Structure 1
Amino acid sequence: MPEKFSKWVACWGNATSITDRKEATYAKDLTLRYPIRACFSGNKLRFHFSNLTGTEPVTISEAYVAKEAPSSSEYAPTPITFGGRTSAAIPAGEEILSDEIAFDVTAGETFDVSLYFADFTQMNAGTAITGPLSGGKYSYGNFAKSATLPDDLTRKTNWIYFLNTIDIFTEEKNFALVCFGDSITAQDWPDYLTLRCAREGFNNVAIIRRAVSGTRILREYSCITYAAYGLKGATRFPIEMNVAGARTVIVQHGINDIIHPVGVEVNKFRPWSDMPTADDLINGVRSLYITHARKLGLKIYSGTLLPIYGWRTYNENRDIIRMAFNQWLRTAPDFDGCVDFDKAVRGHDNPKQFSNGFDSGDHLHPSAKAYEAMAECVPEELLK
């Protein structure tokens, strides 16, 4: 009788980028805990940790995986090991992979990944995400093996540090769908897509998020003020498509290229020379994303850019570029299809702006209701 589980598939994942540069850039004696919802059943896990944007090595002192349990006595952490060792150093600019950990998981369960950093640790590699399934906690002290974290020493966080991807050894029929983009994708719609899959019975697909707020296709910043806007597409895409079991990628990227430039007289780091034409964006997507996706044997779907009317740097020329780029995204034979996010959230009377109730208030990012609409418009063919 053949083994039920036969291949590795990514079941959870995020991008790794430069964290926001605050006064404090180091932590010590810190526990991080991230709850992970299992979309597949399997019997082994392996963990990718990334220090891609760090400038010095980071040492994970201890790491554990444990299923959520109804009582403290039933909480049973399993060590995550690296070459048989319970600690590991992640070199600057690199990623590491844990040992394969025997760990039975049933689809729908939640398990915790807990990391402890004993010594001074440069917190320069991570990304901020939001959504009903996203976020974690941090505690001062070593509580990585504890069933509960102490209320007086613990806070919630939406920053995911170092933990990059989790793979599960699972059934042959399971696969991953990658969502690549900027803050629109770093926010809620991938989580709502995961919930939709569970609700509608698309039980063989994992939604893997590769998104960084502020990131652009063609440019990146070299100053600490905007460092957290992340690496440019040419750098990010080849790294972030390292996803076990991936079949398809949805790319929803490019709005920051359009809205960022304001001129050096307003902001020395945002010159008008950074302003792309629609053809610049098209050529960037072709050369950076489509070409690489094809090399990996991935299907690639375009995602149209959302309305920006009312955003603080809005002008008619920016919107002309957005709409021309969207027209190409909808019709270009280069793609396997288009996910028309713009059509799903724009107003009927004025398609340049969000539909009523779909604007978060800043005229750039959608509301929770709009993020749900984005998840609903993803074609079933990508989820089956």
Structure 2
Amino acid sequence: MSMSTFTKWVAAWGNATSITDRTAAVYAKDITLRYPIRICFSGSKIRFRFSNLTGTEPVTITSAFVAKQVPQTANATTYTPAAITFDSKVSITMAPGTEVESDAIAFDITAGETIEVSMHFADFTQMNAGTLITGPLSNGKYSYGNFAKDRDLPADLTRNTNWFYFLNTVDVFTEEQNHALVCYGDSITAQDWPDYLALRAWDAGFRNVSVIRRAVSGTRILREYNCITYAAYGLKGATRFPIELNVAGASAVIIQHGINDIIHPVGVEVNKFRPWSDMPTAEDLISGIQEIYLTHARKLGLKVYSGTLLPIYGWRTYNENRDAIRNAFNQWLRTAADFDGCVDFDAAVRDSARPECFAPGFDSGDHLHPSAAAYKAMAEAVPEDLLK
């Protein structure tokens, strides 16, 4: 393919950046992070966004590299990492609350290839900016030591991780018809269905769309927590959305958000951080979607698709009032003229005989998060037109 056919930047992979789970260990030192990322577009250049959005201290990436993944059976010399630079420098310090974009790097990529993005942090580093995501395309590794340029990470110093730290977006300079579909939400979207959607698009022969995940477990539309116990539940919608919708080449966004607003409040006598005053009405959630999400998405010229909320029967805070709010909110999501369409995830996974419950085999076991089969059903529920 001629480079002259490449005309614009489009996000090929993306993740949200939130506050990581607050444990006793907050810092790392002399650590390598490596994330394999499947690229769905061909292109001639590549660039990266790194984020310290939720950090409270500067973070220095000592060095970072990108390389095409090669089979273990291949000669190690075929692994040729290219330095990721920032104003031609190999190292960058990100101030607290900021994101940085790398230089554009000449990098010929063919759709379907997997790249590996590796970062080394030499000094003590606050690991406060990252997000936990899962799915068949979402995995990473970390190693003690500097192995950012090596094809093989040492097995005795390396572990797998689903925490994606600092790496926020990968853009490819690609063809004009290519575009990005943003999947925005909470833990339901931080888990598997966006990956299954990306695989569905690829297997169906749709080569013009990337699936960009912007999701954080525990987040709410209307509120956020200010305590280390729930810090990883992240920023509220009004703060998150304008930042996370910074997606090159985006054409549309699917919003599946709001269940945590409904299920979290339990009263201060049970949990001091979850007062009953946090309980929204369906009207509160509707206003949040209209004023926070729709207003900004329309400014960006995006199509907006609503995503209905899934069944919660059996979840530890379930009651009929919460489910009534969910159902009223879902009815608006299905019928409101505000949207370009609705992805009815609820209908895709609920039990037809008992619609307050997941269908048999579709409950992960906690009565809130879907099973792998249900995540595949959610991916199938997305209209084909969004993938063309």
Q: Does 1:262 align with 2:266?
A: yes
Partner SS state of residue 6, structure 1: strand
Q: Does 1:161 align with 2:165?
A: yes
Return 1-10 or 160-169, whichever deviates more.
Answer: 1-10
- Cα distance change, pair 2–66 in 1 and its aligned pair in 2 (3 A): closer
Structure 1 unmatched ranges of 5 or more: none
Report the Cα distance in structure 2 between the residues aligned to 1:197 and 1:295, rounded to whole angstroms: 27
Q: Within 5 Å, which residues of 2 pair with 1:180-259?
A: 180-259=184-263
Which one-letter code corresponds to 1:162 in the other structure? F
1:2 Cα deviation from its structure 2 partner: 8.5
Q: Does 1:112 align with 2:116?
A: yes
Which one-letter code corresponds to 1:296 in the other structure? L
Q: Within 5 Å, which residues of 2 pair with 1:30-49?
A: 30-49=31-50
Q: Does 1:177 align with 2:181?
A: yes
Q: Does 1:151 align with 2:151?
A: no
Q: Within 5 Å, which residues of 2 pair with 1:284-323?
A: 284-323=288-327
Report the Cα distance in structure 2 between the residues aligned to 1:181 and 1:265, rounded to whole angstroms: 29
TM-score normalised over the length of structure 1: 0.99
The residue aligned with 1:128 is 132
Deviations 1:330-349 (A, max 9, x none): 00000000000000000011
The residue aligned with 1:56 is 57
Report the Cα distance in structure 1 between the residues aligned to 2:196 and 2:173, rounded to whole angstroms: 24
Partner SS state of residue 282, structure 1: helix
The residue aligned with 2:340 is 336
1:371 Cα deviation from its structure 2 partner: 0.1
Report the Cα distance in structure 2 between the residues aligned to 1:51 and 1:308, rounded to whole angstroms: 34
1:278 to 282, 286, 290: 282
1:71 Cα deviation from its structure 2 partner: 2.7
Deviations 1:222-258 (A, max 9, x none): 0000000000000000000000000000000000000
Report the Cα distance in structure 1 between the residues aligned to 2:205 and 2:355, rounded to whole angstroms: 33
The residue aligned with 1:8 is 9
Report the Cα distance in structure 1 between the residues aligned to 2:19 and 2:3, rounded to whole angstroms: 44
Which one-letter code corresponds to 1:257 in the other structure? D
Partner SS state of residue 60, structure 2: strand
Partner SS state of residue 3, structure 1: helix
Report the Cα distance in structure 1 between the residues aligned to 2:140 and 2:369, rounded to whole angstroms: 22
Which one-letter code corresponds to 2:277 in the other structure? S
Report the Cα distance in structure 2 between the residues aligned to 1:326 and 1:348, rounded to whole angstroms: 16
- Cα distance change, pair 198–2 in 1 and its aligned pair in 2 (3 A): closer
* Percent of matched pairs sharing the same residue: 75
RMSD over aligned CA atoms reads: 0.8
1:165 Cα deviation from its structure 2 partner: 0.2
Report the Cα distance in structure 1 between the residues aligned to 2:57 and 2:272, rounded to whole angstroms: 29
Deviations 1:339-361 (A, max 9, x none): 00000000011000000000000
Q: Does 1:67 align with 2:71?
A: no
Report the Cα distance in structure 1 between the residues aligned to 2:233 and 2:163, rounded to whole angstroms: 14
Which one-letter code corresponds to 1:19 in the other structure? T
Report the Cα distance in structure 2 between the residues aligned to 1:237 and 1:219, rounded to whole angstroms: 13
Deviations 1:253-310 (A, max 9, x none): 0000000000000000000000000000000000000000000000000000000000
Report the Cα distance in structure 1 between the residues aligned to 2:12 and 2:134, rounded to whole angstroms: 18
Deviations 1:149-192 (A, max 9, x none): 00000000000000000000000010000000000000000000
Number of residue pairs matched by the alignment: 384
Return 221-230 or 64-73, whichever deviates more.
Answer: 64-73
1:345 to 318, 331, 349: 349
- Cα distance change, pair 266–2 in 1 and its aligned pair in 2 (3 A): closer
Report the Cα distance in structure 2 between the residues aligned to 1:293 and 1:147, rounded to whole angstroms: 40
Report the Cα distance in structure 1 between the residues aligned to 2:229 and 2:170, rounded to whole angstroms: 31
Which one-letter code corresponds to 2:282 in the other structure? A
Report the Cα distance in structure 1 between the residues aligned to 2:137 and 2:51, rounded to whole angstroms: 21
TM-score normalised over the length of structure 2: 0.98
Report the Cα distance in structure 2 between the residues aligned to 1:262 and 1:2, rounded to whole angstroms: 57
Report the Cα distance in structure 2 between the residues aligned to 1:338 and 1:218, rounded to whole angstroms: 21
Report the Cα distance in structure 1 between the residues aligned to 2:143 and 2:87, rounded to whole angstroms: 27
| Runs of 4+ with >2 A deviation | none
Partner SS state of residue 182, structure 2: strand
